[in-house]
């Protein structure tokens, strides 16, 4: 029985050594796996950070470009509104000038006709009245043609002046889009 008692401790020692060796191997395997996992995780995190930084940089750049384009659109729209305001101001001023001119013509014609009417009432015979009236009709016709030319010239100038700011903006817009399409 003593031989069995001696054999048991040897077997236990051998089993213990085997278990310890297995534990050591397992520990080493776990350490290797942990180390490899840590390195892989670290590399993954570093790559993720690098990619994130690149994406953030790209987003910031794109955002800056978009904001710049947005500012350009706002500025362009503001310039268009300014051109419309300027065109309307020129139109209103031109219409006022045109109305003043028409009023002045009407007032002068009324005064001339009143003076001719006084002459007609002062006539002693029909022939003089008809002659004065014929002269008045001829003068009024010539004046109407002359003043019509002036009014037409003023109207054309008004249209040109009032449309100039808008024409300028349209030309700039066409030029801008043509350049962008060509690029």
Domain parsing of the chain, residue ranges = 2-182
* Per-residue pLDDT tens over the stretch 129-165: 899 999 998 998 999 899 989 989 988 998 889 888 8
Question: Over 60: is that where the pLDDT of 41 sits?
Answer: no
- By C-alpha distance, which of 164, 104, 139, 131 is closest to 122? 131
Question: Over 90: is that where the pLDDT of 40 sits?
Answer: no
| pLDDT of res. 87 | 87
DSSP 124: S
Average pLDDT over residues 99-107: 91
Angle between helices 2-121 and 126-182 (to 10 degrees): 160
Q: Which residues contact 98 (CB under 8 A, 6 or more apart)?
A: 151, 154, 155, 158
- Token match 């002036």: residue? 150
| pLDDT of res. 11 | 57
* Per-residue pLDDT tens over the stretch 54-89: 655 555 565 455 446 777 778 878 888 888 889 888
| pLDDT of res. 162 | 87
Mean pLDDT of the chain: 75
Instruction: List for the chain the helix, strand, coil content (%; round to 5).
Output: 95, 0, 5
- Token match 């051998």: residue? 14
| pLDDT of res. 67 | 47
Average pLDDT over residues 18-45: 57
Q: Count CB-CB contacts under 10 A for residue 63.
A: 11
- Token match 């950070």: residue? 49
Q: Count CB-CB contacts under 10 A for residue 53.
A: 10
Structure tokens at 66: 């978009």
Q: What percent of the chain has pLDDT over 70?
A: 61
């Amino acid at each position: 029985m003593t031989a069995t008692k001696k054999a048991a401790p040897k077997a236990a020692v051998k089993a213990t050594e085997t278990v310890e060796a297995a534990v050591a191997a397992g520990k080493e395997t776990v350490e290797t796996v942990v180390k490899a996992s840590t390195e892989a995780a670290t590399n993954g995190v570093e790559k993720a950070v690098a990619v994130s930084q690149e994406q953030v940089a790209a987003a910031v750049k794109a955002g800056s470009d978009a904001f710049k384009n947005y500012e350009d659109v706002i500025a362009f729209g503001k310039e268009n509104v300014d051109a419309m305001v300027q065109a309307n101001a020129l139109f209103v001023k031109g219409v006022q000038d045109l109305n003043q001119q028409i009023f002045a013509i009407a007032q002068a014609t009324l005064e001339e006709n009143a003076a001719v009417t006084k002459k007609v009432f002062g006539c002693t015979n029909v022939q003089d009245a008809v002659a004065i009236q014929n002269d008045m009709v001829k003068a009024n016709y010539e004046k109407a043609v002359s003043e019509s030319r002036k009014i037409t010239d003023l109207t054309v100038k008004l249209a040109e002046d009032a449309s100039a700011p808008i024409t300028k903006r349209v030309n700039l817009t066409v030029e801008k889009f043509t350049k962008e399409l060509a690029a």
